[in-house]
Chain A
Amino acid sequence: MSPKVRLRQRMQVVLHMVMAFVVAILMAQLWLFTVTLEAMESHTASLSIVSATVAVSVLGCAAVWALIRFFHRAEAQHQSQNI
């Protein structure tokens, strides 16, 4: 296997891992959204739960965008090495 092919395969693995992370974070954000909705309806849920879900969702969103940026960079690097 040539170094070029090996590099291409490695990049494919990285890109798939990034996509898996992004999808996992999106699922977690969806769950946090449902928790917040539940807390909104509940009279007993404290504000600390709501603020925690918002904070974690902000972190998740930042992580998604960071991973997407990493994905784009890796893709560009992969394409430039293929040329």
Chain B
Amino acid sequence: MSKRTERWKQDFPVPIGEDSYATRREFTKFLGLTSVAFLAGTVAAAARKIWKQATAAGSNAVPVAALEEIPAGGSKLFRYPTQDDACILLRLAPDKFVAFNQNCTHLNCPVHFDAANSQLACPCHHGFFSAEDGKVVAGPPRRSLAALEVTVRDGQVWVEKSNEKETA
């Protein structure tokens, strides 16, 4: 019988009480690995930011709509500079076009044009932006919408990345 017990102990050498026991060394190693994980996340986010800026820098002006396609007070959705970047073009007056990134700066919900109030509204958390310049009017967003440079030539509306910095 004692021989069988010894065999059993050889197969399961850790007592159940010590099974979940963590030494100080293991705990400090866990803290160190947590630090590495934070660093890896920071580096990944930084790399994504750099990549986004690099792809945006290489984008040129593109035509997004014909002049007669959008009536005054109307809007059109398009994608720029990549297929993943939803944008919105607004015609505020017969000779005034503005364009913004369509993602709300709060939690990335798409904003919609409210022509009656001349605002861009986010239905998710009731964020409101000015249709004139994309600045926050009300709601939880803290940053303005990213504006695009709009020009009209040859009967077409062209957009390109805006060089001027948006205000917070």
Contact = CB atoms under 8 A, between A and B. Distances in A.
Contact of B46 (A53, A65, A68): A53
Residue from B34, B38, B50, B53 whose CB has the most chain A CB atoms within 10 Å: B38
A67 to B, nearest CB: 9
A54 B46 contact: yes
Contact of A26 (B34, B41, B45, B105): B34
Interface in A15-32: 22-23, 25-26, 29-30, 32
Contact of A68 (B32, B45, B50): B32
B143 A72 contact: no
Interface residues of B, number: 29
Contact of A40 (B24, B49, B143): B49
Could you tell me the dominant secondary structure of chain A's interface residues? helix
A51 to B, nearest CB: 7
Could you tell me the dominant secondary structure of chain B's interface residues? helix
A60 B168 CA distance: 30
A3 B34 CA distance: 37
Contacts, number: 84
Contact of A50 (B28, B49, B101, B165): B49
Nearest to B31: A22
B49 A36 contact: yes
A50 B46 contact: yes
B60 interface: no
Interface string B30-52: 01101110110111011011101
A43 B144 CA distance: 9
Contacts of A54: 42-43, 46
B25 interface: yes
Nearest to B145: A43
A29 B33 CA distance: 12
A26 B38 CA distance: 8
A34 B103 CA distance: 20
A36 B25 CA distance: 31
Given A71-B28, A72-B25, A45 B49 contact: yes
Given A29-B39, A37-B45, 4 more contacts: A29-B35, A36-B42, A45-B49, A61-B35
What are the 4 A-B residue pairs with the smallest beta carbon separation, nearest first?
A: A29-B38, A43-B146, A64-B35, A36-B45
Interface of A: 22-23, 25-26, 29-30, 32-33, 36-37, 39-45, 47, 50-51, 53-54, 57-58, 60-61, 64-65, 68, 71-72, 75
